[in-house]
Protein backbone atom coordinates (compact mmCIF):
# COMPACT_ATOMS: atom_id res chain seq x y z
CA UNK A 1 0.00 0.00 0.00
CA UNK A 2 1.44 3.32 -1.05
CA UNK A 3 0.50 5.93 1.51
CA UNK A 4 1.96 8.80 3.46
CA UNK A 5 1.27 11.24 6.22
CA UNK A 6 2.42 14.83 6.33
CA UNK A 7 2.17 17.23 9.23
CA UNK A 8 3.08 20.80 8.47
CA UNK A 9 3.17 23.47 11.16
CA UNK A 10 3.99 27.12 10.65
CA UNK A 11 3.09 30.32 12.50
CA UNK A 12 0.16 30.64 10.07
CA UNK A 13 -1.27 27.13 9.79
CA UNK A 14 -1.31 23.57 11.10
CA UNK A 15 -2.00 20.97 8.45
CA UNK A 16 -2.43 17.22 8.88
CA UNK A 17 -2.72 15.22 5.68
CA UNK A 18 -2.86 11.56 4.91
CA UNK A 19 -3.12 10.06 1.43
CA UNK A 20 -3.50 6.45 0.35
CA UNK A 21 -3.04 5.78 -3.36
CA UNK A 22 -4.71 2.33 -3.28
CA UNK A 23 -7.89 3.77 -1.91
CA UNK A 24 -11.58 3.76 -2.58
CA UNK A 25 -12.17 7.51 -2.92
CA UNK A 26 -12.99 8.07 0.72
CA UNK A 27 -12.31 11.61 1.87
CA UNK A 28 -12.47 13.14 5.32
CA UNK A 29 -11.57 16.73 4.69
CA UNK A 30 -11.87 19.52 7.22
CA UNK A 31 -10.31 22.77 6.14
CA UNK A 32 -12.97 25.18 7.31
CA UNK A 33 -13.50 26.20 3.66
CA UNK A 34 -16.59 24.39 2.36
CA UNK A 35 -15.92 24.82 -1.35
CA UNK A 36 -12.28 23.75 -0.97
CA UNK A 37 -13.45 20.64 0.96
CA UNK A 38 -15.84 19.95 -1.91
CA UNK A 39 -13.01 20.18 -4.48
CA UNK A 40 -10.69 17.89 -2.49
CA UNK A 41 -13.51 15.39 -2.00
CA UNK A 42 -14.19 15.38 -5.76
CA UNK A 43 -10.47 14.90 -6.40
CA UNK A 44 -10.30 11.95 -3.97
CA UNK A 45 -13.50 10.36 -5.26
CA UNK A 46 -12.52 10.36 -8.92
CA UNK A 47 -8.87 9.56 -8.27
CA UNK A 48 -9.95 6.73 -5.92
CA UNK A 49 -7.53 8.08 -3.35
CA UNK A 50 -8.22 7.98 0.36
CA UNK A 51 -7.56 11.41 1.80
CA UNK A 52 -7.73 12.69 5.34
CA UNK A 53 -7.08 16.36 5.87
CA UNK A 54 -7.38 18.61 8.88
CA UNK A 55 -6.30 22.19 8.36
CA UNK A 56 -6.35 25.07 10.81
CA UNK A 57 -5.02 28.56 10.36
CA UNK A 58 -5.38 32.31 10.43
CA UNK A 59 -6.65 33.05 6.89
CA UNK A 60 -8.47 30.98 4.31
CA UNK A 61 -5.79 31.87 1.77
CA UNK A 62 -3.05 30.42 3.99
CA UNK A 63 -5.09 27.35 4.92
CA UNK A 64 -5.86 26.46 1.29
CA UNK A 65 -2.31 27.18 0.11
CA UNK A 66 -0.64 25.18 2.90
CA UNK A 67 -3.08 22.29 2.47
CA UNK A 68 -2.02 22.03 -1.18
CA UNK A 69 1.68 22.17 -0.17
CA UNK A 70 1.07 19.29 2.26
CA UNK A 71 -1.08 17.32 -0.20
CA UNK A 72 1.56 17.67 -2.93
CA UNK A 73 4.31 16.63 -0.51
CA UNK A 74 2.23 13.66 0.67
CA UNK A 75 1.69 12.49 -2.91
CA UNK A 76 5.41 12.80 -3.64
CA UNK A 77 6.27 10.79 -0.51
CA UNK A 78 3.63 8.14 -1.20
CA UNK A 79 5.11 7.65 -4.67
CA UNK A 80 8.57 6.96 -3.23
CA UNK A 81 11.09 6.21 -5.99
CA UNK A 82 8.24 6.19 -8.54
CA UNK A 83 9.19 2.71 -9.76
CA UNK A 84 6.60 0.83 -11.79
CA UNK A 85 4.16 3.69 -12.27
CA UNK A 86 2.50 4.55 -15.57
CA UNK A 87 3.86 8.07 -15.03
CA UNK A 88 1.62 9.97 -17.48
CA UNK A 89 -2.11 10.40 -17.20
CA UNK A 90 -4.79 12.56 -18.73
CA UNK A 91 -8.50 13.17 -18.59
CA UNK A 92 -11.17 15.25 -20.25
CA UNK A 93 -14.05 15.58 -17.82
CA UNK A 94 -17.37 17.32 -18.39
CA UNK A 95 -19.63 18.73 -15.74
CA UNK A 96 -22.77 20.03 -17.38
CA UNK A 97 -21.63 23.17 -19.29
CA UNK A 98 -17.98 22.85 -18.21
CA UNK A 99 -15.33 20.73 -19.92
CA UNK A 100 -11.89 20.39 -18.33
CA UNK A 101 -8.71 18.89 -19.75
CA UNK A 102 -5.95 17.80 -17.37
CA UNK A 103 -2.67 16.09 -18.26
CA UNK A 104 0.03 15.08 -15.79
CA UNK A 105 3.52 13.62 -15.95
CA UNK A 106 5.05 12.29 -12.73
CA UNK A 107 8.53 12.34 -14.27
CA UNK A 108 9.81 14.65 -11.55
CA UNK A 109 10.03 17.79 -13.68
CA UNK A 110 8.12 20.65 -12.10
CA UNK A 111 6.09 22.70 -14.53
CA UNK A 112 2.51 23.86 -14.55
CA UNK A 113 0.29 25.71 -16.95
CA UNK A 114 -3.27 26.34 -15.81
CA UNK A 115 -5.72 28.08 -18.13
CA UNK A 116 -9.09 28.93 -16.61
CA UNK A 117 -11.02 32.16 -16.15
CA UNK A 118 -13.79 32.67 -13.65
CA UNK A 119 -16.66 35.10 -14.07
CA UNK A 120 -17.19 35.80 -10.38
CA UNK A 121 -14.72 36.81 -7.68
CA UNK A 122 -15.77 34.02 -5.36
CA UNK A 123 -16.30 30.30 -5.63
CA UNK A 124 -18.67 30.24 -2.70
CA UNK A 125 -16.30 30.70 0.29
CA UNK A 126 -13.08 30.41 -1.75
CA UNK A 127 -11.52 33.27 -3.77
CA UNK A 128 -11.59 32.47 -7.49
CA UNK A 129 -8.13 33.94 -8.01
CA UNK A 130 -6.69 31.35 -5.61
CA UNK A 131 -7.61 28.36 -7.73
CA UNK A 132 -4.80 28.60 -10.29
CA UNK A 133 -2.29 29.22 -7.51
CA UNK A 134 -3.53 26.16 -5.59
CA UNK A 135 -3.04 23.89 -8.60
CA UNK A 136 0.45 25.31 -9.23
CA UNK A 137 1.35 24.86 -5.57
CA UNK A 138 0.20 21.23 -5.68
CA UNK A 139 2.20 20.56 -8.88
CA UNK A 140 5.44 22.01 -7.54
CA UNK A 141 5.25 20.13 -4.23
CA UNK A 142 4.20 16.83 -5.83
CA UNK A 143 7.04 17.32 -8.35
CA UNK A 144 4.85 16.89 -11.36
CA UNK A 145 4.22 18.43 -14.71
CA UNK A 146 0.64 19.69 -14.86
CA UNK A 147 -1.36 21.10 -17.74
CA UNK A 148 -4.91 22.26 -17.11
CA UNK A 149 -7.14 23.77 -19.76
CA UNK A 150 -10.75 24.65 -19.24
CA UNK A 151 -12.09 23.95 -22.74
CA UNK A 152 -15.45 25.63 -22.13
CA UNK A 153 -17.84 26.47 -19.35
CA UNK A 154 -20.28 29.03 -18.01
CA UNK A 155 -20.81 28.18 -14.36
CA UNK A 156 -17.80 28.84 -12.10
CA UNK A 157 -18.68 26.06 -9.64
CA UNK A 158 -18.85 23.55 -12.51
CA UNK A 159 -15.58 24.79 -14.03
CA UNK A 160 -13.63 24.37 -10.78
CA UNK A 161 -15.22 21.03 -9.95
CA UNK A 162 -14.61 19.63 -13.46
CA UNK A 163 -10.92 20.55 -13.10
CA UNK A 164 -10.53 18.76 -9.74
CA UNK A 165 -12.40 15.69 -11.00
CA UNK A 166 -10.18 15.59 -14.09
CA UNK A 167 -7.09 16.00 -11.91
CA UNK A 168 -8.21 12.96 -9.91
CA UNK A 169 -8.83 10.83 -13.00
CA UNK A 170 -5.55 11.87 -14.67
CA UNK A 171 -3.51 11.22 -11.51
CA UNK A 172 -5.17 7.89 -10.85
CA UNK A 173 -3.95 6.78 -14.28
CA UNK A 174 -0.47 8.24 -13.78
CA UNK A 175 0.12 6.59 -10.36
CA UNK A 176 -1.22 3.20 -11.49
CA UNK A 177 1.27 0.35 -11.47
CA UNK A 178 2.25 -1.24 -14.77
CA UNK A 179 3.70 -4.44 -13.28
CA UNK A 180 7.14 -3.53 -14.65
CA UNK A 181 9.34 -2.80 -11.63
CA UNK A 182 11.38 -0.05 -13.26
CA UNK A 183 11.59 3.67 -13.14
CA UNK A 184 9.62 4.73 -16.24
CA UNK A 185 12.32 6.89 -17.77
CA UNK A 186 14.89 6.31 -20.50
CA UNK A 187 17.38 7.87 -18.08
CA UNK A 188 16.68 5.15 -15.49
CA UNK A 189 15.95 7.66 -12.75
CA UNK A 190 13.25 10.22 -12.01
Q: Which residues bind Mn ion (CB under 5 A)?
A: 161
Instruction: Rank residues 21 and 160 by Cβ distance to Mn ion and give the closer one.
Output: 160
Q: Are strands 111-115 and 145-152 parallel, antiparallel or unpaired?
A: parallel
Compute the least distance from the CB of residue 161 to Mn ion, in Å: 5
C-beta separation of 118 from 84 below 8 A:
no
Instruction: Rank residues 156 and 161 by Cβ distance to Mn ion and give the closer one.
Output: 161
Chain residue whose CB lies nearest Mn ion:
161
CA distances to 31, 97, 153, 189 from 18, rounded to whole Å, are: 14, 33, 32, 26
Instruction: Rank residues 26 and 83 by Cβ distance to Mn ion and give the closer one.
Output: 26
Compute the least distance from the CB of residue 85 to Mn ion, in Å: 30
Compute the least distance from the CB of residue 168 to Mn ion, in Å: 14
What are the residues facing 27 on neighbouring strands? 51
Instruction: Rank residues 138 and 164 by Cβ distance to Mn ion and give the closer one.
Output: 164
Distance CA 60, CA 102 (A): 25
Compute the least distance from the CB of residue 165 to Mn ion, in Å: 10
Compute the least distance from the CB of residue 44 to Mn ion, in Å: 14
The beta-strand segments (E) located in the chain are 3-9, 13-20, 27-30, 50-57, 88-95, 98-105, 111-115, 122-123, 126-127, 145-152
What are the residues facing 127 on neighbouring strands? 122
Instruction: Rank residues 10 and 119 by Cβ distance to Mn ion and give the closer one.
Output: 119
Amino acid sequence: MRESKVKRETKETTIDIRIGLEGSGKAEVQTGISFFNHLLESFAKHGRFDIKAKSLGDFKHHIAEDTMIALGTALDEALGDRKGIRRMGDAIVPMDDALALVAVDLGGRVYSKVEVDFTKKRLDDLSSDLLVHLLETFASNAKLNLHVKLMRGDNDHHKAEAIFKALGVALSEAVSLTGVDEVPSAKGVI
